[in-house]
A and B are shown apart, each in its own frame.
Chain A
Amino acid sequence: MAERAFQISHRLGISAAVFIAALILSALVAVAMRAEGEFTMTPGDWAALRFTIWQAILSAFFSCLFAIPVARALARRRFVGRSLLITLLGAPFILPVIVAVLGLLAIFGRSGLLNDALRAFGFETVSVYGLLGVVLAHVFFNLPLATRLMLQGWRSVPAERFRLIAQLGMPPRMVFRLIEWPLILRIVPGAFALVFVICLTSFAVALTLGGGPRATTIELAIYQAFRFDFDLGRAAVLSLLQIVVAGGAAVLALWLIPQVSFGGGLDRMQARWDVRRGFQRGIDAGFIGAAALFLILPLAAITLSGLRGLGDVPLHVWGTAWTSLWVALVSVLALLVLALPLAGWIATTRCASVETVGLLGLAASPLMIGTGWFIIIFPFADPADWALGVTIVVNALMALPFALRILVPVMRETVQSYSRLTQALGVQGVRLWMWILLPRLRPQIGFAAGLTGALSVGDLGVIALFADPDRATLPLQMYRLMGSYRSEAAAGAALILLVLAFGLFWILDAWGRRHAIAE
């Protein structure tokens, strides 16, 4: 009904978008100029390209394949700990990659639980390094994400549909054909695309579990050209390759990627009368149990070995924990300064394509931006001095797509419900933000801030390019400890990092939900 635009000024949002575009484009230009005349691809580059795409396809395939039966089982069964398990499905998303890798090594590594068991029964042991390990880690992160997406799908089935099924006494096979299969067809392409894009720019997993000529992603190749050969030209060529691959995939995936709901409500159970007992129940129990073990075992292993190793953590590592904490907090501030005006703009503009601004963060890889900014800063100053600053900005940029997905729907709803009233009362400008928008969006702001804080505190990306021995964040320090085989100290550092990431998320999210108005 309201024909006039809502009184949210678009100036701030447009400034934020311009700032983001400038940040990414300047890095791109710097990279392109540095790579001038060197656009040849070595066999190693082709191998990196092939591996990057192949591992992303496998990771997306297995994440979605296993997510289907797990989500189906979770949608059908009511059991003690169900809502806890569904909450736990959100944990890998905010779990620092390097911590998860350490946890996975404790289970699947050379002297992990799995290989101990294989040895005990006289079988060959398996090596988790290389393609297998990279895909395993990616499935660990993305199976829960895919499962949550599928659960959303199951929840979208009207309750009446299940009553009708019970009334007609349909067997599970019919339910699958009539309801579940169309559902899967609808959701899987989007989930696959999302996981594929996320895995394309994977760095920390490849750094720790990959490597060598057969298991190097483009992102890792940029890092190696940079750190080991200090060949800025090659790093620049690889960065261009990366942005073509990741950017292209992100644009393609734009049409497929679903609305990701990060909020609660997924643990609510729909009443089901079909599939009560018997064979079906056994299958469901098997999948739920396997998924739960796959999630919980690595986390438990980190916690246990971390507690043992806490005493071995050197004092300077505790110092980097402090650095990581304030870097994360400044990242959160930077994110909010960018995301809130952008969300206001996106929610009130009629130009739908504006929403893609937020996806730039997904398309541009952190190491590409890092390389570009290194090239820009290098002639004028010591890039190591800028390590933390660039890390802060890049972390905020990487969290932006998720933050916008969280903020924009509520912003839109607030605008729809209250635009006429605020106009009639003449509430606008700073007052509109302070009294109406920020209080209304408080739970979402807290949630987005928590995600950003956790992602930022655990990030091992740009910092690895820039840092010198004196400047490091906790994830980088932990990686160095792992590299020098100080596994007790690394486990202790992992526990500190885990507590920081989950603690930051929990505190910021709880702040948002405190005083949330029950309506």
Chain B
Amino acid sequence: MLSLNKVLMCQGAFSLRANLTIEAGCKVAVIGPSGAGKSTLVNAICGFVAVAEGQVQLDGRDITQALPSKRDMAILFQDNNLFPHLSIAQNVGLGIRPAMRLSQTETAQISMALDRVGLAGFEDRKPGALSGGQQSRAALARALVQGKSWMVLDEPFAALGPALRVEMLDLVASVALETGAGVLMVTHSPDDARRLADQVIFVADGVANPPVVTAELLDNPPPALKAYLG
């Protein structure tokens, strides 16, 4: 269970409040207008943005001050998810443990993860030799071997075409099902939210609202959300 207790996040003049709880294993989409603070919210949860007030708790443990790597979260960014000078296997291997020399079992684990996301045999390639979709898959393979209890996605598929995006969302869902991880995904698209998410956090006017069941919210949107959806 992930909870934000009366949290205030500040970035320069911009501030965002959140007081909400997300159940473990739940798939949640974060939607809202541009500049409303969707990225600020997930960045604060991941530990990249300092929290000014309140507490972030993970399963009852206070993680407000924890390092990003100590938060039991696997993160996929919009871009720069892979180090271009490392091979795909090395990039995925960083998720098992930050050491370059991996044991045989670990190498096998990497190959299985790559196989799982449809990149069997791509171990020795460099990210530059992969398409955008394949790079997302490789990053997802790393999230798979990380085996964290949360996967946080900050619009990682925004640059992909519609068909590919749907494919990746389904892959995320099945990876999450496999590892039992909860998913927190920032997105612009209500369709993406419907496809993946059980619940939706709507961010607007300086507030991140508590999660509501996806269909319920999107079918009967409050005025602010209605204005955003158009």
Binding site for B on A (CB under 8 A): 1-4, 417-418, 420-421, 423-427, 431, 434-436, 439-440, 517-519
Residues of A within 8 A of B128 (CB): 517-519
**Does B227 touch A at the CB level, under 8 Å?**
no
**A423 and B67: CB pair below 8 A?**
yes
**A1 and B69: CB pair below 8 A?**
no
Residues of B within 8 A of A426 (CB): 67-70, 98
**B95 and A439: CB pair below 8 A?**
no
**A3 and B98: CB pair below 8 A?**
no
Which among B39, B74, B95 is the interface contact of A1 at CB below 8 angstroms?
B39
Residues of A within 8 A of B74 (CB): 424
Residues of A within 8 A of B15 (CB): none
Query: 30 A–B contact pairs at CB < 8 A?
Result: A1-B39, A1-B43, A1-B48, A1-B49, A2-B43, A2-B49, A4-B47, A4-B68, A417-B80, A418-B80, A418-B83, A420-B46, A420-B48, A420-B68, A420-B75, A421-B83, A423-B67, A423-B68, A424-B68, A424-B69, A426-B67, A431-B98, A431-B100, A434-B100, A435-B83, A435-B86, A440-B85, A517-B126, A517-B128, A519-B84
**A420 and B77: CB pair below 8 A?**
yes
**Does B94 touch A at the CB level, under 8 Å?**
yes
Residues of B within 8 A of A423 (CB): 47-48, 67-69
Interface string of B65-101 (1 = CB under 8 A from A): 0011110011101001101111000000011001110
Binding site for A on B (CB under 8 A): 11, 39, 43, 46-50, 67-70, 73-75, 77, 80-81, 83-86, 94-95, 98-100, 126, 128
Q: Quick one: closest B residue to A418, CB to CB?
A: B80
Known A418-B80, A420-B75: A425·B95 in contact at CB below 8 Å: yes
Which among B11, B50, B86 is the interface contact of A4 at CB below 8 angstroms?
B50
Residues of A within 8 A of B50 (CB): 3-4
Query: Min CB distance, A301 to chain B, in Å?
Result: 44
Tell me, in angstroms, the Cα distance from A4 to B43 when the chains sit together.
11
How many A-B contacts if CB must be within 8 Å? 69
Query: Min CB distance, B197 to chain A, in Å?
Result: 22
Query: Min CB distance, B170 to chain A, in Å?
Result: 24
Known A417-B80, A517-B84: A425·B98 in contact at CB below 8 Å: yes
Residues of A within 8 A of B69 (CB): 423-426
Tell me, in angstroms, the Cα distance from A260 to B135 when the chains sit together.
35
Q: Quick one: closest A residue to B50, CB to CB?
A: A3
Query: Min CB distance, B190 to chain A, in Å?
Result: 24
Q: Is the interface of A mostly helix, strand, loop or mixed?
A: helix
Query: Min CB distance, A85 to chain B, in Å?
Result: 32
Tell me, in angstroms, the Cα distance from A512 to B66 when the chains sit together.
38
Known A418-B83, A425-B69, A426-B70: A2·B98 in contact at CB below 8 Å: no
Query: Min CB distance, A350 to chain B, in Å?
Result: 14
Residues of A within 8 A of B67 (CB): 423, 426
Tell me, in angstroms, the Cα distance from A10 to B148 when the chains sit together.
31
**B48 and A421: CB pair below 8 A?**
no
**A517 and B49: CB pair below 8 A?**
no
Tell me, in angstroms, the Cα distance from A112 to B95 when the chains sit together.
68
Tell me, in angstroms, the Cα distance from A2 to B48 when the chains sit together.
5
Tell me, in angstroms, the Cα distance from A245 to B128 when the chains sit together.
51
Residues of A within 8 A of B73 (CB): 424
Query: Min CB distance, A517 to chain B, in Å?
Result: 5
**A4 and B48: CB pair below 8 A?**
yes
Which among A3, A418, A424 is the interface contact of B11 at CB below 8 angstroms?
A3
**A424 and B49: CB pair below 8 A?**
no
Residues of B within 8 A of A4 (CB): 47-48, 50, 68
Known A421-B77, A423-B69: A436·B83 in contact at CB below 8 Å: yes
Known A435-B100, A439-B85, A517-B85: A424·B80 in contact at CB below 8 Å: no
Query: Min CB distance, B56 to chain A, in Å?
Result: 14
Query: Min CB distance, A238 to chain B, in Å?
Result: 50
Tell me, in angstroms, the Cα distance from A129 to B80 when the chains sit together.
58
Q: Top 4 closest A-B pairs, CB basis?
A: A426-B69, A423-B68, A439-B85, A424-B75
- For A4, A425, A426, A518, the residue with the greatest tally of chain B CB atoms inside 10 Å of its CB is A425
Tell me, in angstroms, the Cα distance from A98 to B98 when the chains sit together.
50
Known: A421-B77, A421-B83. 4 other contacts (CB 8 A): A424-B46, A431-B100, A434-B100, A435-B86
Residues of A within 8 A of B46 (CB): 420, 424
**A3 and B94: CB pair below 8 A?**
no
Residues of A within 8 A of B98 (CB): 425-427, 431
Tell me, in angstroms, the Cα distance from A207 to B78 when the chains sit together.
59
Residues of B within 8 A of A425 (CB): 69, 94-95, 98
Residues of A within 8 A of B49 (CB): 1-3
Residues of B within 8 A of A3 (CB): 11, 48-50
Query: Min CB distance, B63 to chain A, in Å?
Result: 14
